[in-house]
Amino acid sequence: MMMGTMKNALKFVVVAGLAVGAVGGMAGTVVAGDHLRDALWAIDSVGLVVATAILSISFFRKGCDAVAAGFLVFALGEAVMLGGTAASLEASVPAFAAGTALWAAGLLLTSVPGELAAWVRGAGIVAALLFAVTSGSLFRGDAVTPLSRPLPFFGYPFLVLTFAGWIWTAVKAN
């Protein structure tokens, strides 16, 4: 009885963390105030780190090492980004460059193996490619911020679609 309760509690934390990450992240890209954006992105980051750390453990226990590693790498990327969130948009760019590189790697690790549904994997691969290009641009020295268009701005919807797939996967899991 206790184990089932704990499993349900962790499932709730995963779903809530991913939902908060999706909503907070997208909201942060459209709000006008710097402090509100920073607060939304900080909350979003914490939710995503917690959720993907739990998913990492869950998939590791199932023997899905690549997917587990992907969730762990994604959590690390999100944690790196959290470190730059309190800085100005321009000052956060180095953390964002490193974070998007880790996002891309984590998304590929979760998406290439056949553990998740094809549509979730497809969204994850598209997001990974868009964030890899974003990171490459940043490391090349291009003037890109987390709000730049077309990238990374148009990568966020694919990331949120991937989160929706991760939520769907968590909800349907035993």
Q: Write out pLDDT tens, residues 80-130.
A: 999 999 888 999 999 999 999 999 999 999 999 999 999 999 999 999 999
Distance CA 104, CA 70 (A): 9
Distance CA 148, CA 106 (A): 22
pLDDT for res 174:
73
What is this structure's pTM? 0.95
For the chain, the average pLDDT equals 95
Q: How far apart are the first and last CA of the chain?
A: 14
**Mean pLDDT for the stretch of residues 23-35:** 95
What are phi and psi for residue 32, nearest 5 degrees? Answer: -85, -35
SS3 160: helix
pLDDT for res 45:
98
Element (H, E) at 69: helix 65-85
Distance CA 112, CA 122 (A): 9
pLDDT for res 130:
98
Query: Which comes out higher in pLDDT, residue 173 or 157?
Result: 157
Tell whether the model's pLDDT for residue 173 goes beyond 80. Answer: yes
Tell whether the model's pLDDT for residue 62 goes beyond 50. Answer: yes
What are phi and psi for residue 97, nearest 5 degrees? Answer: -60, -50
pLDDT for res 1:
43
pLDDT for res 5:
75
Q: How crowded is residue 165: how many other Cβ atoms within 10 Å of its Cβ?
A: 22
